[in-house]
Each structure stands twice: as structure tokens, then as C-alpha cells.
A = this chain, B = another copy of it.
Amino acid sequence: MLVVMNVDATQEQVDAVSAAIREMGYEPHAMPGAQRTAVCVTGNKGPVGRDRLAQLPGVRDIISVSKPYKLVSLETKTERTRIDVRGRIIGGDELTVIAGPCSVESEDRTMAIAERVRSLGVVFFRGGAYKPRTSPYAFQGLEEEGLRILAKVRDEHDLRIVTEVLSEETLEAVAEVADVLQIGARNMQNTALLKKVGRCDKPVLIKRGASATVEELLMAGEYVMSGGNHRVIFCERGIRTFGDHVRNTLDVSAIAAVKAMSHLPILGDPSHAAGKRHLVPPLARAAVAAGADGLLMEVHTDPATAWSDGAQTLSIEEFQMLLEELKRYREAFTPAPAAT
């Protein structure tokens, strides 16, 4: 850490900063510069009492050097993490594709979608039984009935279930059905929920919050890992910007940055980012090209009558065409690991 003094800071003020650092058990190193003095702090393993130093007279700024994440860091574990979900790997050589409707709908429709996506070689199925909606008057998901249908999808087709957990109180029920527990963007900093999934034995897919920095996304992973659950998968699904041509701005640089900073896998969600069907394929391709380990996509046998998010949902035919493109792409081009 570096404590930057004002241009007109007195020697007494610099000394007081040094004394406070020493009192905290660390080493101060005053560095007189041409314009101003800075005091380096060494010997600290964890966070220093930053706030206290910031308030001493003559202090202008405090600059952190260390990063706050540990367990998720590629500096801590230099080998990429491969997550085994009932025999299928997320974070391995193969592109992971997770597909299905936005919400679990009636049993018939859901089973029909499941059958179609499975027939295309997909082995991960998505679908929300509990839906976080902006309006309390919008469809909130089929809830328990939705879980029952997902269990049937899981048992009758060879599909691994990825579904959102919205609430501490329904976590147990969701975890009985889910192969991967999804934390949605709105709950990325719901620390109570993060702590609780950190004690589960199911992999956790964490979607980046709409205004979360990459560091905050990594820290959400740190919450889960520090609870003992090391099977964490990240997902970039678009951030909130001034842009009004899409629902969210897919930040492909976050995908590349997470690959350079963490050993954990990261997926892209082009559907929620695009918000419009015709933009889903280019965003899917871009996410993969930026280094994503896979994609989470909304697919439906009849998008026009989907119960939610229909406008951004691919038809089976559109999805099949995209899968083939991605396959061709992946054959032509295996992304080299981004070096730091």
C-alpha cells in the first residue's frame, strides 16, 4: 500500500503516518519525491487499516497494490479448473452449451424443448422455475411445479440441469433438482445467498451483476470458494451502460480478463445481452472468440408464444445453425490462453 501525502505536508505529518503504520505492525518507507512524499507500507499480509491512514492530516490518497481475491486467482492456482458435472466437463477443451427456455413452462412444452436440444448433442439444459422479474405482476415462474418438471427432464433425457436459485429458503429444494445452481445477476452481491451456496456440494454458476466490476465478480466467486465450494463458474451476460440498442452491453473484454486473472471457467450469455433475436448469433460468436468456455442460451420450440423473453429466444432451427457455426469455428481455431 502507498500513502500519498499532500504537496505541502509537513515532516511531522509524514512522521505521524509512519508511526501509525508501525503501530499497525507494518513497515513504513517514506519516499520523498520531487513534488510530494509517499509512504510505502510493507509487511502486510492482509488489508491494512486503510480508512484510518486516509484520515491522518496531510494525507491525500491511499493506493492499494494487492488484489483482494485469492482463491479464485490464477496467481494462487496456475492450473485451469475443470468442473465435472455428472461426467461432462465445464472448462475443458469442449465448448459447453447450456440451452433451454427462459422459464420452465408446461410439462409437455418443456419436455419437447428438452428432447429437441438433446437431439442436437446438447447435454446441459437451462430453464427457470423461479424467475426474478422487475414487476411483481409479471410471471414469477412455476416454482415447485417447475422443479418437478426439471427433474423429469433430467431423468428422462441425459441432460444436466442449470437453474436459478433466488432465495435462501428454496435453495434446498432447488439443489435437489439442479446439477448446477445459478446465481442471477440481480443476486450477484446477495452475500447471504452466496454464503449458503458456498456450503452446497453443487457447482455454482455466478452471473455478473449489471454494474459489477470484474473484481466484484471475482469476489462473489471468492465468497463461494471461501465457504468450501470450489466448483465455481462465471458468466458474462452484459452490463448496464448508456447504450440503448441492446438490452445489456455484452462485455467480451470481461471474458478475456477473467481468463487472464482466474483459473475458473467463464461462459457468455448472448441472449440476455442482446435482448433481440437477430443479435444473439453475432454475440454468441463474439463471446466464444473472446475465449468463453461456453454459452448459456435461450432456445424454444415456439419463441413466439414463450412465457417470457420470447423476443431474444432462438428457435430450434436458428439454434442448430448457430451450433454448427460454433463447431466449425472451434475446429478452425482453439483460442490460445491469454497471458498476463
Contact = CB atoms under 8 A, between A and B. Distances in A.
Contact of A283 (B209, B226, B243, B253): B253
A296 interface: no
A146 to B, nearest CB: 15
A328 B329 CA distance: 9
A292 B35 CA distance: 30
Q: State the number of copies, please.
A: 4
The secondary structure that dominates the A interface is mixed
B243 A310 contact: no
Contact of A191 (B40, B166, B250): B166
A11 interface: no
A252 B239 CA distance: 13
Contact of A311 (B51, B168, B243, B340): B51
B63 A65 contact: yes
Contact of A252 (B6, B226, B286): B286
Given A52-B304, A242-B240, A249-B253, A65 B278 contact: no
A270 to B, nearest CB: 9
A22 interface: no
Contacts of A281: 336, 338
Interface in A244-283: 244-246, 249-257, 259-260, 273-274, 277-279, 281-283
Interface residues of A, number: 120
Contacts of A8: 75
A285 B278 contact: no
Interface in A4-25: 4, 6-8
Contacts of A245: 213-215, 253-254, 257
A107 interface: no
Contacts of A189: 132, 134, 186-187
A226 B136 contact: yes
B32 A219 contact: no
Nearest to A34: B45
A253 B241 contact: no
Contacts of A82: none
18 contacts: A29-B29, A35-B45, A46-B137, A47-B138, A51-B311, A55-B277, A55-B303, A68-B134, A133-B191, A136-B195, A166-B192, A170-B192, A211-B240, A240-B242, A245-B253, A249-B253, A329-B329, A332-B333
List the 9 closest A-B pairs by CB distance, nearest first: A211-B211, A332-B332, A167-B192, A51-B310, A289-B289, A256-B282, A186-B189, A285-B289, A286-B286
